[in-house]
A and B are shown apart, each in its own frame.
Chain A
Amino acid sequence: MGYFNNIRETIRTIFEGMAITASHLVREPYTVQYPDRIDLPIQDTLPFRYRGLLDVDLEICTGCLACERACPIDCIVIEAEKNKQTKEMILRRFDIDLAKCMYCGLCSEPCPTGSIHHTPEFEGADYSLESMVRRFVKAPIPAYKPTKGPETDPEIAPLLTRGLRYLDEFASPGDSK
Chain B
Amino acid sequence: MSTAGIEIGLERETPAGLETEEMTLNMGPQHPSTHGVLRFVVKADGEVMRRAIPDIGYLHRSIEKISEKVGYHGFMPYTDRVDYVSAMQCNQGWAMACEKLASIEVPRRGEYCRVIACELGRIASHLISVGTTGMDIGAFTPFTHALRERERINNLLEELCGARLTFNYMRIGGCAWDIPPGFVKRASEFVEQFEPLIDEYNELISFNKIYVERLANVAIVPAEMAIAWNLVGPNLRGSGVKYDVRKDVPYSVYPELEFDVPVGTGERGTLGDSYDRYMVRMNEMKESCRILRQALGGIPEGPVIAKVPRTFKPPPGEVYVRVEASRGDMGWFVVSDGTAFPARTHIRTGSFSAMAIIEELSKGLMIADLVAVIASLDIVAPEVDR
Annotate A52-85 by CB proximity to B: 1 below 8 A, 0 otherwise: 0000000000000000001111000000000000
The reply on B98 being an interface residue by CB < 8 A is: no
* Bitwise interface map of B from 327 to 364 toward A, beta carbon under 8 Å scored 1, else 0: 00000000000000000000000000000000000000
Q: How far is the CA of A46 from the CA of B304 in the complex (A)?
A: 24
* B256 contacts partner chain A, Cβ-Cβ < 8 Å: no
A20-B200, A20-B203, A21-B141 known; A106 and B74 CB under 8 Å? yes
Q: Does B70 contact A (CB under 8 A)?
A: yes
Chain A nearest Cβ from B382, distance in angstroms = 15
Interface flag for A47 (CB, 8 Å): yes
Q: Are A102 and B77 in contact (CB under 8 A)?
A: yes
Interface assignment of B76: CB less than 8 Å from any CB of chain A: yes
Q: Which residues of A contact B (CB under 8 A)?
A: 6, 9-10, 13-14, 16-17, 20-21, 30, 46-51, 70-73, 102-106, 109-110, 118, 169-177
Q: Is B64 in the interface zone, CB < 8 Å from A?
A: no
B66-83 contact mask (Cβ, 8 Å, vs A): 1 or 0: 000011011111100000
Tell whether B297 is near chain A: CB-to-CB under 8 Å.
Answer: no
Residues of A within 8 A of B310 (CB): 110
Q: Give bound CA distance, A50 to B155, whole Å.
A: 10
Check B162–A50 contact: CB distance below 8 A: yes
B287 at the interface (CB under 8 A from A): no
Taking the closest CB of chain A, its distance from the CB of B72, in whole angstroms, is 11
Say yes or no: A177 contacts B200, CB within 8 Å: no
Q: Which residue of A lies closest to B173 (CB)?
A: A173
Check B102 for interface membership: any CB of A closer than 8 A: no
- Docked-complex contact A6 and B209, CB < 8 angstroms: yes
* Bitwise interface map of B from 293 to 313 toward A, beta carbon under 8 Å scored 1, else 0: 000000001111111101000
CA distance A48 to B182 in the complex (A): 13
A-B interface contact total, Cβ < 8 Å: 107
Q: Which of A6, A17, A73, A175 contacts B303 (CB 8 A)?
A: A175
Residues in A with CB closer than 8 Å to B168 are: 104-106
Q: Quick check: B204 and A21 within 8 Å, CB to CB?
A: yes
Residue numbers of B with Cβ under 8 A of A are: 70-71, 73-78, 109, 141, 148, 151, 158-163, 166, 168, 173-178, 180, 200, 203-205, 207-210, 301-308, 310
Q: Given contacts A171-B175, A173-B307, is CB(A47)–CB(B158) below 8 Å?
A: yes
Given known A-B contacts A14-B208, A20-B200, A106-B74, A173 and B306 have beta carbons under 8 A apart: yes
A10 CA / B39 CA spacing, docked (Å): 35
| Residues of chain B within 8 A of A174, CB atoms compared | 303
**Across-interface contacts of A106 in B (CB, < 8 A):** 73-74, 76-77, 168
Q: Cβ of B210 and Cβ of A10 under 8 Å apart?
A: yes
Q: Are A72 and B70 in contact (CB under 8 A)?
A: yes
Docked-complex contact B166 and A103, CB < 8 angstroms: yes
How far, in angstroms, from A110 to B176 measured CA to CA in the complex?
11
A76 and B248 CA atoms in complex are apart in Å by 44
In the complex, which residue of chain A has the Cβ closest to the Cβ of B74?
Answer: A72
**Across-interface contacts of A73 in B (CB, < 8 A):** 70
> Contact at A175–B151, with CB atoms within 8 Å?
no
CB-defined A-B contacts under 8 Å, sample of 28: A13-B203, A13-B207, A13-B208, A16-B204, A17-B205, A17-B208, A20-B204, A21-B204, A47-B180, A49-B160, A49-B162, A49-B177, A50-B162, A51-B163, A70-B74, A72-B74, A72-B75, A102-B166, A103-B166, A105-B162, A171-B175, A172-B305, A173-B173, A173-B174, A175-B305, A177-B109, A177-B178, A177-B303
User: In the assembled complex, how far is the CB of residue B369 from the closest CB belonging to chain A, in whole angstroms?
Assistant: 20
A51 → chain B closest CB, angstroms:
4
Q: Which residues from B are CB-within-8-Å of A103?
A: 163, 166
**Alpha-carbon distance between A24 and B208 when the two chains are bound, in angstroms:** 17
Q: Which of B148, B303, B308 has the most CB of A within 10 A?
A: B303
A16 to B174 CA separation, bound complex (whole angstroms)? 46
A85 to B300, CA, bound (A): 53
Say whether B203 contacts A177, CB under 8 Å. Answer: no
Q: How far is the CA of A141 from the CA of B8 in the complex (A)?
A: 66
Q: Which residues of B contact A6 (CB under 8 A)?
A: 209
Which 10 pairs show the lowest CB-CB distances between chains A and B? A72-B74, A104-B77, A49-B162, A51-B162, A173-B307, A10-B209, A72-B70, A47-B159, A171-B304, A104-B168
